Every structure is written in structure tokens, then in C-alpha cells.
Amino acid sequence: MTATTVTRTVSDPRRARGRGIFLLGLAVATVGLFALTVGGGADARFGLNTSSAGIEIPDLVLPVRATVIALAAVIAFLGGRQLTRGFGTRIGVVLVIGTLLFLFAFLTWAAADAQLNLIFLLRSTIMRSIPLALGALSGVLCERAGVVNIAIEGQFLVGAFAGAIVGSAVNNVAGLFAGVLAGGVLGAILAVVTIRFVADQIIVGVVLVVFGLGITGFLNDQILVPNTHLNAPPIFRPIDVPLLSDIPIVGPLLFDQNILVYLTFALVAVLHVALFHTRWGLRVRSVGEHPKAADTVGIDVHAVRYRNVILGGLVAGLGGAHFTVGSVGSFSKQMTGGFGFIALAAMIVGAWKPVGALGAALLFGFAAALKDSLAILGVPIPSQFLTMAPFIATILVVAGVVGRARMPAADGQPYIKE
């Protein structure tokens, strides 16, 4: 992958004007799609509790049309302010706020004369974002060292399969480690072929994805289908943190999750500190930015790349294990459903940073969780479009960051020591 970065500043008048027009268009769409298509007396009820809530709070009931118009007015104000005075460097935050207001207007419209439990929706968002976040972290580890990892989807699949079969035979902890190890094996293959034999990183990644699809499909038919007892691993149950899990809204979301959720959040924090505040991270980033310069100061470029690509495989394997021992409790062909590719998009949107990748994963996870809630509400949107929601969101968001995201300068470039 060639590093091509186009830097535009927020002071670009045409770009600034385009963002203002975008916000105004969003306001018009909010009114046209959600305020004019619902009855004047409709109310939306949002549940804010779970069945195990320690402290219950009343549901939030909102008049649909008035709420949507109010949200559209705020979005229009933001657009008008951008066109007249501009928000400068804060425009990114303003765009996020405008998009969130649009999404809330959509939810209000979808819940007209019905009830939508926001806590369940957000818990589902977190669960669906976990493999995306782990896949994105895998990509960050590899690409910060200059190696493109397209193979995340394949690493997910082998991790999920190993987690299912070992988890069924032993227990879920063993299944978790087996999934991590399986992802690491594919990471090691990627490292050897691309670093030792200098093969094209994109092609090798695609081949590993196809390999993962094929081998797990074959083994599923040969082993799991005739031996169903080997495809029923116990899943990790939620662990509630005393007192903190009783906090309304926040408690069920952050302090009543399974071990994989806690591990992912901890991994994001550890990786962020390691990459940007330690000597190890400085060496990794120098290899990803300018491997020749790193080599001249005594850094073993190949060793750094080997280590990071294998680490990336281990993390992707953890994400794969989440599908079987963390959520579903069984393996099926192609069960990862393209999440490995969405994880790559999360890495790009997150600007190759762990915290940014987690934020992008949550966004894509919300799109995936939303389709289930909308299906339950009976929203008049074809199910095929609801299924496409995560991928449509990915395309739109990635298109929005093209030209602004900066990848490591030596990303995808092989290094041959002279």
C-alpha cells in the first residue's frame, strides 16, 4: 500500500463551506424524513433500565414531531454558524455532534408509538464493537511497524473455530487461548512470507483470508457437523463490578460485561501508552515511518516487524474467539460476516491510533446493533437494507476521512537491509 497523504487544512474556504452545507442538508433531511412522516400526537418511549438494574429510573417519553424539529433546528444552527463564522479546528467535533443529533432524531422517529430500550441497544453496540476493536488493534500493531494486515478476517475465522472446538472439549478459558494462538499462527505466516520472502503484503493477506474461509469451512463439515458436542463451548458470562454496576445507565454498560469486554478496554489503554509513551513504541513507530533511518541507529527493523505482526495475529485471534466463547456459543461457516474488513476501516478512521480505533469500532458496532432494534420495532425499512447498515456506515465514514487520515509513511513497503 503506497502512502499517499493529502493534507488539507480546516481553513480551506471551499471545504469549510461544504461542511456547512452538509449540516444544513442534514437538518432538511431530518425534518423531511422524520418530522413530516409521523403523526402529530405520536410519542416515543425510551427505556433506560435493565432487568437487573439496582436503581431504576423512569423511561424517557418524548413527543416525536416536536423533538425531531428541535433537533433539526440545532443541526441547522450549527450549519449556519459554520457558513457565517466557522468553527475552525472544532469543526470535527461539530460534525460528530450533528451526526449524533441526526441519529437520535432517527431513533425518535423509529420508536414512534413504541418503546425502544436504549440500554439494550448500547449494550449490543459494545458487544458487537469488541471484535471490531480487537481487529483494528491488530491492524494498528502491524501497520505501525510498516506491514499491512489484510488477513484479519481470516485470523478471526481460525480464532473462532479454535475457540469453539477447544472450548467445547475443555472449557471457555482454554478456548480463548486456543483462539489467540490460532490467530498468532496466521500472523506468523504473514510475517514470514512478507518479511522474509518480501511477498506483496496485500496479496498474501487476501490469500490468508481465503485460506481461513476454506480451512474453517472444511473442518466445520468434517468435524463439527458430525460431532455437535464439539461445537457447544460455554460462553463467558457477565461479571458485575460491585456498586459500580448499580449506577443508572453507565453501570449496565461498562461494569456488567464479560471478561472479553474488560480485556479489550484494558488492551486499548495499554497499547496507547505503549505506542506513544514508551521506548518500545518509539522504535515501532520509527520502523513504520522510516525503516532505513531506524536501521542506521541500531534498531533491528525485521525483528520489530516480526514481533508486531505476530502480536497483531494474537490480538486478531482474540477477536475471533469472541465470536464463539464470547457471544454466540457455537461456530458456523463465515460467521464473522466481513467484520475483519470493517475492522480495517475502523483502524483507518481511527487514524492508526488505539483510542481512535475503539471509537470507530463503537460507531460501526452501533450500526450493526441498530438493525436488530429496528427489526424488533417493525420499522418500514426492508430487512436487506438493515443488514447492509454496517457496511453502508463504513463506506460513508471512510469516504469522509479520505484525504485527512495519515497512514505510517512506510506502511506496506518491504525493507531490504543493504
Cell 496485500, located at residue? 202
- Tell me the pLDDT tens digit for each residue of 338-365: 899 999 989 988 889 999 999 989 988 8
**Winning range, highest mean pLDDT, from 9-13, 67-71, 91-95:** 67-71
Least confident of 4-18, 99-113, 278-292: 4-18
CA 243 to chain centre: 29
Q: 369-374: long-range contacts at Cβ-Cβ below 8 A with a sequence spacing of 24 or more?
A: 369/121, 369/122, 369/124, 369/125, 369/127, 369/128, 370/121, 372/124, 373/110, 373/116, 373/120, 373/121, 373/124, 374/110
Nearest to 262 by CA among 292, 238, 278, 242: 238
Q: In what order do the strands lie in the sheet with 114-117?
A: 60-63, 43-47, 114-117
The reported pLDDT for the residue numbered 403 is: 59
With b for 16 or more beta-carbon neighbours within 10 A and e for fewer, the 269-308 pattern comes to eebbeebeeeeebebbbbbbbebeebbeeebebbebbbbb
The reported pLDDT for the residue numbered 404 is: 65
Report d(CA 330, CA 117) in Å as an integer: 27
Predicted TM-score (pTM) of the model is: 0.88
In the three-class reduction of DSSP (H, G, I as helix; E, B as strand; rest coil), residue 46 is classed as strand
Q: What does R_g of the chain's alpha carbons equal in angstroms? A: 23
Nearest to 131 by CA among 318, 403, 378, 394: 318
The reported pLDDT for the residue numbered 4 is: 44
pLDDT band at 8 (very low <50, low <70, confident <90, very high): very low
- Tell me the pLDDT tens digit for each residue of 281-335: 999 999 999 999 999 999 999 999 999 999 999 999 999 999 999 988 999 999 9
